Every structure is written in C-alpha cells, then in structure tokens.
Structure 1
Amino acid sequence: MPAGLIHNPVLPGFHPDPSIVRVADTYYVATSTFEWLPGVPVHRSADLAHWEPAGHILDRPDLVDLRGVADSAGVWAASLSYHDGLFWLAYSIVRTTGHPFKDVDNYLITAPSVEGPWTAPVFLNSSGFDPSLFHDEDGRTWLLNIQWDARDGRPSFAGIVLQEYDREQRRLTGRPRTILTHEELVEGPNVYRREGWYYLMLAHGGTGWNHGILMARSRSLDGPYELDPHGNLMTTRHTWQAPLLKAGHGELVETPEGEWYIAHLASRPVDTEDGPRSILGRETCIEKIVWTDDGWPRLEHGGTEPRVTVPGPLPATAAPAVAPAAGGAERDDFDATTLDGSWCTLRVPADPSWLSLTDRPGQLRLSGRQSLHSRFEQSLVARRLNSVRCEARTVVDFRPDHFTQAAGLICWYDTSTYFYLRVTHEAARGRILGLVENDAGAYREHPATDVDVDGWPAIHLRARFDAADLRLSASPDGLCWQDIGPVLDASRLSDDYGDALRFTGAFVGLCAQDLNGTRRPAYFDHFELKDR
C-alpha cells in the first residue's frame, strides 16, 4: 500500500523542541513549555501525520515549580524515551537566563504509561540544560546534557557531557565525561545506536535563523566522535525563502518497517518591514530520513531544507479520526468543570482559589490577582495561536469599582510584550474599556481609546489577526463592532522582537487583575478562537 502524506507543521503553533519515541505501533511526541503550565504536552499518532493530544506530563506541583522564573525560562527541551516497560522523561527547569549564568536543575521521572502516574522527580545535575537519556543494548542507561561555562572570556557552551545513571540507586554514578566540543554552539544532544555505530545528534547554531542539526558518530559511546563531513543534516541558514525556517533541534525515530524519520522544530515567519518574525513560535514538523551506503543519515529528498509535504511511513493506514492536534475546539462554552488541555496558565497551575467553572455554570470565573508583569500569581489563561489569520472572541461580565481592577482579552507574548483590551473603572465615568500595551518593556495606556461601557448590556471583545496586523474591537451586542485603538503590530508578539532571548510564541486568552488584593471576579461566557 503506498504511503500517505505528512503535512507540516504537524503540531502548529508553539510546540518547540520535539522529542519523539515509538512504542509498538504508536508514536509519541513531547514538546517544551517554558513558563507555561501544565508542562510538556504529549501527542500521539499511528501514522506520523495525524496527531491527537495525550495529556501533559508535568501536571502536578511536585513535578514542576515555576514561581518566579524569568520569561522564556522554566521547562526546557524535555526528552522522552521508552525502555524496559517504562516511559522516561528527562527535563530541565531553568531559573536564570541571559549572560553569564544559567541556573538550571535537571530531573528524571518515569511512568508505565504516557498518561502516568509519573514518579516523584529524581534530581540529576545542574551542569547545563537539554538532558536526554540513552538506553544501551547492554542494559546501562546514560545521561547527556550540555556543559554550561559562565567564566569570563570562555565559550558558554563547553561541550556535551555523558554520565551513567544507576537505575537501582536512582542517581548518577561515576564522573561526567566530555564527549564532544565544537567551535560553534551545539546543544540538544541525543544518542542512537545503529549497525555498530553510536550516532550523536546535535542542535547547532542556536535556535534562530542560523539553526540546524549536526550529526557525529563513534564506535564507542564515550567517543571520540567524528562530525559528518557533509555538514548539517538539516538547516535553512542559507535561505530566507523556504516555507519552514529555523529548522533544527530534532530526534530520530524508526518505524516498525525500518524506515527513519526525524521530528524537528521549524517556524513559519511573517514578513514585516523589519524582516521576518515568527508570531507562531517554533512548531513541530516531521521529515523523512534515509541512510547513505557509508552510514550517514540524510534527508530523503537530498537537500537540507525541511518540506511542507513529506511521504508518510509504510504501510499507510486510513487516516484515524483524532481530536484537534494543538489548538483545542474552536469554541469553549465553559460547560465542563475543568479546563480542557488546550488552555495554559503562567507559572502556577489553575486552582479554585482564582479560577472556577462552577461558580456560574457555563461561565469561567477569574479572580483578579497580580499584575501582568508578575512572575508569581497571575490570573491568566490562554491558548496558543496556531494561525496568523484568526479571530478570538469572548464576552466578559466584570464590575470593577476601583482603577486597580481590570479584566479582558489579552494578546500575549510575555510579561514584557502584550496587547490588552481591558475593562477597568474610573471614578468620574464608571466602567471604561480601552487598550493597554507593553512594548518590549515600555508600558503604555491609551486613554484616547477609552470607551464608556457602563450602559452596555454586555461587553463583547474581539481580536483579529491578519499576518502582522492586529485589530482589537468591542461590541455591546456581538453584532455592531467598534475598533479600539489603531491597527497594532502583531509581529511584536514573536520570538524575533526585541533584544531578549524569546522562545515561546504568541498566545491569546483571558485575564483579570486586582492590585488591591480583593480578588474582584470577572466572568467570561465563552471563548472562541477560529481561523479566518
């Protein structure tokens, strides 16, 4: 039977650093979540083309504590493997970013099923991020990660280190060994064994426009490793025209029929006057791999650029009926008692102290807490954007009585960059609706956009994305809309805007603040996010 087709990205929107594993006839992909919770979503597939959510791994407070972590810190590059009847997840929690230090702790958890229950975390080390496990044929398990070097005048990336993990003692044993260094930045190490060779896969050149994947190999696990003389297995560093850019950070998987594929990240930027910007962040893609006669992997089509359409594995099966892969249902009427898996919160999990779906059945209650700049206790829930041409809508019932209280529709990148269509209170006017923005740390309110809404029967809010353009509007009835503020630059909500390290892609969602600490509630009747 001929193979089907894989259409990239298979997980659109913010789904970076994919880690792939096959167990029997099912493939699983885990992706990074940084400061968002629940952490590390998993998707599963029978054919590499059609994916459905399989839950989140880091969904308990004992598994991850992100209070106070910096923007784009938190859970980095989790690596999923399967061995001896267990799923294994190695993951980093990064608390300090920037230069020169990276305060990072690496952990390991295991479970009999990808749905859990997951064990309490085992601390591994703090030497650097991007941990992965290699389970060798002799039954031994090894940890790989990068070694970070904060010393002045030294390269920050000091090589790939290897150390044995003692499964009985549940700890690392022996001394770490540096198995590869490189003059350019290399990270995301993963080892595979094939036909007598140990293959070391590396993310290369950073996670931006210069990104790529390098391969090295050795007859011995601890090296020495020789780099592939071909150069990058995958990269788009030489072009701005490919439909999938920033390609890199991947993992290999072998099908039951002996074919090979790679799950990797890439982005689909929009063009702006200031160059391309990746509003959707880094997305998960699949590409087919073949092996040369002398034992090196190559992209099946012969080049180094990933493709939008890729031949699927043999034998092809009928496309299964699966749930939406990434974005959730178009409309959430908040009829359930818990949020579905497409919703994310910042740094702290959703709990009844600030979020409820039962106070008013069919509505979401957010109790106002800290400001949008807080790294501790925000009342914010959001969904990934998975299209740059989409529309978000909601209806909010919010009765503030002080200027410190606000609630509304948020278009979010991080605490430094967002657009906020919010209802608040002004003593002389009552409830007002207006625009607030934070532009790479430059906070600004737009009083000229404020609209009196005390007399409105309902407050409908809308955000329309059209590539780099964003229009915010409001309506008393959901039929007659008025724009609030000018056309905004949606490309600011991208990995490529500003000077700071940014890794998380754009989100749109709902939030509430009460800086007086009285936890004024806001009630949202529904939330709709659909392509246009």
Structure 2
Amino acid sequence: MAGDFPDPSITKVGDTYWATATSSNWGPAFPLLKSTNLTDWDLVGHVFPNELPAWADYYFWAPEISQEGDKTYIYYTAHQKGGNLAVGVAVADSPAGPYRDLGPLVGQKDGSIDGFPMRDEKNELYLIWKEDGNSVNQPTPIWAQRLNEEHTALLGEKKELFRNTTPWEGNLVEGVSMIKHNGYFYAFYAGNGCCGHNCTYGVGVARAKSLLGPWEKYEKNPILTKSEKWACPGHGTVFNRGNRWYMLHHAYDTRSFEFVGRQGVISEFSWTAAGWPEFRQGGSVVTKAAPMVPRNLNDEFTSATLLPSWQWPVEERPTVAVRDGKLYVTARPQHSGAVLGQHTTTADYTATTTLLNPAKLPVGTVAGIAAHGDPENTLAFTAGSGKLQLWQLEKGKQKNLSEVKLPATAATAITLRLRAQQGNQFRFEWSIDGGKSWQNMPGVTGSINGSYLPPWDRGVRAGVLVKGPATATATFENFILENELVTAQGEGK
C-alpha cells in the first residue's frame, strides 16, 4: 500500500477487501481503499470526507474497520476538543460510506487510543484499547471493557489485559489486533518506538484462553522485526485467506524512511506446532516483496470535484473549486497559506504544475508548487507581486532562498517544477514554454535540504499553495506527479 498509510486496518466484505489508515493531521480524515487482490488498491473516499466529528479537532489516528452483519464500523482515535486523545466510533450501511459518527467511547486523562472490537468466548462485545501512558512517561496498559450492541457506550468495569513489561517493548505496547484461533485469543501488538529514522518498532504476540485473561506473552517475541528493505514494522490487522494467515501492518522503506512515511505492507505467517504465529523469513519483513508500481498522477482538473487523493491540513481546509479544466484556490494569509498536497510513494519524484495569470495575482499574494511537511514547515516555489520566489518555512519562520523578476512572457502562464531525490533533496525550476526548456533560480547551485519537513508521524506531500489575503484566488491548469521507483538498498541492485 504505497504511500503514507500508518496503522492500516483491513476487513473483507463479499469479494472485496477494504482498508483504512491513520491520516493524522491531513484531511480528509481516514482514507477508504479497496482491492480484490490485496495488491492493487484504489482510493475511493474517506470516512469523514467533509465535516469532522463534532467532538474532535485533530490527530486522526488508528482507524479499525470492522464488518458486523450488514453494518461497517470504524473505531478510531482523535484528539477531543478541550481534552485528550479518545476512541470514537462511526457506522455505515456500506464500507464505502457515508459514515455516521456515534461519538467518543472512552477518553482517559492520559489519553485513550487504538480501539479494537472483539467478542469474548460468550459472544459478548468488548472494546480493546491502549491507555496512552507513554505520553506522560508512564506504562501503557491494554484495557478491555464491555461495549453495548449499539456500539455507543461502554458497560461495567474495564479490565487490564497486559502492559509493557519486557525489555524489547521499551516504553509502550499498542496497536492490538485480536483473533481467535484453535481455542485461544491471540493479541498481536506493537512495541517500542514507532516513528522516524531512529525507530525501534516490532510486533509481539500474547495469547489467552479467555478474553479477559490471564494473558501469556510469547517467549520468542518480537515475532516481526526489520529487514534490509523494511524498517520498524508494526500496528496492523491480522486476517486470513482460507488456510493462509497474514498481517497488514506499516513499515518504512529503508530508502525513503519518514519522507514518504509508513507504508502498508502485508506479511505472511504460519502456526507452529505449539500454536504460536511464526512469520516467514525468520521473523523479519520479507525483503523481496511483490514488485511495486509507483503511483503517478496527472490531474487536468476535468472532474466535477476534487480527486479524493488531494489532502490538506486538517484544521485549515482550503476553499477550492474545480471547473472547466482548472483548479481555483482561495488564498489564506497564515502559515504556508492555502495548501493542497498529494501522497508521495517513492524517495525520488517530480511534481509539475502550471499557474495561470501569475501577473494578475493581487498584491501580497503568491501561488505555486511546494513540498509540504505541515502548516509551519514548507519548501515552496511561487510567483506573485511581480517576482518568482524560492522560500522555506521552518518552524513557522520564513526565509527567502532566491528570487527573480517575473518575466513579461510569463504573464499569462508559468510552469513550475519540483524534483526530489532521496526523499529530502529538492530542486526547483521554471518554464515559460510549457516545459520544453527549464530555468534555474539564481544563486541556487545544488539541492535544497528538506530534512526538516516531515513531522514525527507523517510523510512529505507534494502539491500547491496560495498565500495571501482571503479575497485572492489563484488558478492552476494541471498538477502532475511522477514517482520514480529506485530499487531499495535491501535488494542489492
């Protein structure tokens, strides 16, 4: 599942697999992807495509998609307005939606995350979740509590199943996915550090005869660790196809790491004679996975609405319109402006856009192409106020890197290009003849280091921005993203 899809979850409805994943502080919240072969995934929408749940504002994490009868439920984590992280739930009559939010189920003082539904040996419904103790330097208990059949409220008292107690788990256990197999409940879970270049994530497993325990952790944990190709596997959902068992989890490609983000990977496991899961290749993520086809985009803005792959900062949704083969974006004055971005799927990629009528942008308005980290961390190449400017926003502070007078020949259209290598090295160029010839900005002789861009839990997006007064609008004619597949280190080519 190429791209930034952390904490992926999967279920099967009919002959179709449905998946979702963390969207964090990118909107729309929680992508909905479907596949019939577990290899080719189509993004078909989002759980919350327009309005966010009334009780939540940001950090949309760890959705768990679950089919019960003719209803699809999404258990998810979000930051509660005026509070901390909480587990909520939404329901739909179809996996494709539309979803109706049922509100938060649990929100402890230190935060509650990673909700997972499970029925016990009496077929009674429970919610499993993690208390987010590591956020305040405390242990991380995994709790279970009865959930009513309407999926709207917890019942009775919560019961601790287990917590981080062994050295490999570090300061946390989280992301529990449960199955029942051969008389046991199995809890697959993640431990240690999830994110960034120094991540230490891995997968462990525990089992119990009864849902409420006692739980026994496997003495050979962790059962899934890094390979040369994939680093820090963890937090996913276990599923089977007949007699074959798999886990959809996330991991970093060791070439692109945090710059693309945590990508969806399926790993197969079998069962030992003693009844424990054993992943292939000795417990590390398979290095030679199925060949990945880079996902490219050529958006000529001919659809009636914005394509579902476009994203924006979840708290700063831009005002946009698509008509007559053009994208109209209304400016925003704060941060890096009005932002739209696309997932990148490889460490090397090229993004191109054509900005129409840059000379007619109102004074104080700039528009162009950008590598987006978050609203306060951006690397942008823009036109406006009679100039072309290359600038960066780092921790909210803007620095101009180069500028040149906008030539008169670019008054009606200018094409801007961003090229990335190794995920964090960027070059920018411009063209006034539709991309037949390209020009560099003065004084910029090498690549610009964008290592500062990605937040701890997200990858970089490539896209457009418009910054200026909210009365201004910029017009784009196209956006093209070409991802170049470069063989990762672990494949030895």
TM-score by length of 1: 0.81
Q: 1:277 to 1:264 in 2, by over 3 A?
A: closer
| Residue equivalent to 2:50 | 60
1:390-423, CA deviations, whole angstroms, 9 ceiling, x for partnerless residues? 21111112323323x2111011111332210011
Stretches of 4+ moved more than 4 A in 1? 64-67, 324-327, 348-351
| Residue equivalent to 1:372 | 335
Distance in 1 of aligned mates of 2:449 and 2:55: 31
Distance in 2 of aligned mates of 1:110 and 1:35: 22
Aligned to 1:278, the other structure's residue is in SS state helix
Q: Decide which of 262, 265, 286 is 1:285's aligned counterpart.
A: 265
User: 1:334-373 maps to which residues of 2 (within 5 A)?
Assistant: 334-348=301-315, 354-358=319-323, 361-372=324-335
Distance in 1 of aligned mates of 2:294 and 2:106: 32
How far is 1:268 from its partner?
1.4
1:267-296, CA deviations, whole angstroms, 9 ceiling, x for partnerless residues? 1143xxxxx853111100111110111111
1:240-274, CA deviations, whole angstroms, 9 ceiling, x for partnerless residues? xx11112111210011x22111101111143xxxx
Distance in 2 of aligned mates of 1:454 and 1:284: 47
Q: Decide which of 111, 114, 128 is 1:130's aligned counterpart.
A: 114
How far is 1:491 from its partner?
5.1
Is contact 1:16–1:283 with CA below 8 Å preserved after alignment? yes
How far is 1:35 from its partner?
1.1
Letter in 1 for 2:149: R
Distance in 1 of aligned mates of 2:246 and 2:257: 28
1:358-409, CA deviations, whole angstroms, 9 ceiling, x for partnerless residues? 3xx1110001113235xxxx52111011122221111112323323x21110
Distance in 2 of aligned mates of 1:156 and 1:258: 40
Q: 1:285 to 1:277 in 2, by over 3 A?
A: closer
| Residue equivalent to 2:490 | none
| Residue equivalent to 1:78 | 63
- Is 1:212 aligned to residue 202 of structure 2? yes
Q: Decide which of 394, 397, 406 is 1:439's aligned counterpart.
A: 394
Letter in 1 for 2:302: D
Q: 1:435 to 1:90 in 2, by over 3 A?
A: same
Distance in 2 of aligned mates of 1:464 and 1:82: 42
User: 1:10-29 maps to which residues of 2 (within 5 A)?
Assistant: 11-29=1-19
Q: 1:49 to 1:280 in 2, by over 3 A?
A: same
Q: 1:149 to 1:207 in 2, by over 3 A?
A: closer
Distance in 2 of aligned mates of 1:150 and 1:234: 22
| Residue equivalent to 1:395 | 354
Letter in 2 for 1:203: A
Is contact 1:51–1:325 with CA below 8 Å preserved after alignment? no
Letter in 2 for 1:106: V
Q: 1:436 to 1:169 in 2, by over 3 A?
A: closer
Q: 1:349 to 1:452 in 2, by over 3 A?
A: closer
Moved more, 134-143 or 259-268: 134-143
Is contact 1:42–1:56 with CA below 8 Å preserved after alignment? yes
Q: Decide which of 149, 157, 168 is 1:175's aligned counterpart.
A: 157
Q: Decide which of 113, 125, 147 is 1:165's aligned counterpart.
A: 147
User: 1:429-508 maps to which residues of 2 (within 5 A)?
Assistant: 431-446=386-401, 448-457=402-411, 458-467=413-422, 468-477=424-433, 478-484=435-441, 485-489=444-448, 492=451, 495=454, 502-508=456-462
User: 1:197-276 maps to which residues of 2 (within 5 A)?
Assistant: 197-208=184-195, 209-236=199-226, 242-255=228-241, 257-270=242-255
Q: Decide which of 458, 461, 483 is 1:531's aligned counterpart.
A: 483
Q: Decide which of 31, 40, 53 is 2:21's aligned counterpart.
A: 31
How far is 1:109 from its partner?
1.1
Aligned to 2:410, the other structure's residue is in SS state coil
Distance in 1 of aligned mates of 2:398 and 2:317: 27
- Is 1:300 aligned to residue 280 of structure 2? yes
- Is 1:114 aligned to residue 95 of structure 2? yes
- Aligned-residue CA RMSD (Å): 2.6
Aligned to 2:140, the other structure's residue is in SS state strand
Aligned to 1:130, the other structure's residue is in SS state strand
How far is 1:26 from its partner?
2.3
Unaligned stretches of 5+ residues in structure 2: 485-493
| Residue equivalent to 1:273 | none
| Residue equivalent to 1:407 | 367
Distance in 2 of aligned mates of 1:169 and 1:527: 42
Aligned to 2:361, the other structure's residue is in SS state coil
Distance in 2 of aligned mates of 1:199 and 1:280: 31
Q: 1:156 to 1:223 in 2, by over 3 A?
A: same
| Residue equivalent to 1:520 | 472
Structure with greater proportional helix content:
2
Is contact 2:180–2:186 with CA below 8 Å preserved after alignment? yes
TM-score by length of 2: 0.88
Distance in 2 of aligned mates of 1:489 and 1:233: 40
Is contact 1:368–1:522 with CA below 8 Å preserved after alignment? yes
Identical aligned residues as a percent: 23
How far is 1:469 from its partner?
2.4
Distance in 2 of aligned mates of 1:512 and 1:18: 32
Q: 1:325 to 1:138 in 2, by over 3 A?
A: farther
Q: 1:169 to 1:81 in 2, by over 3 A?
A: closer
How far is 1:441 from its partner?
4.8
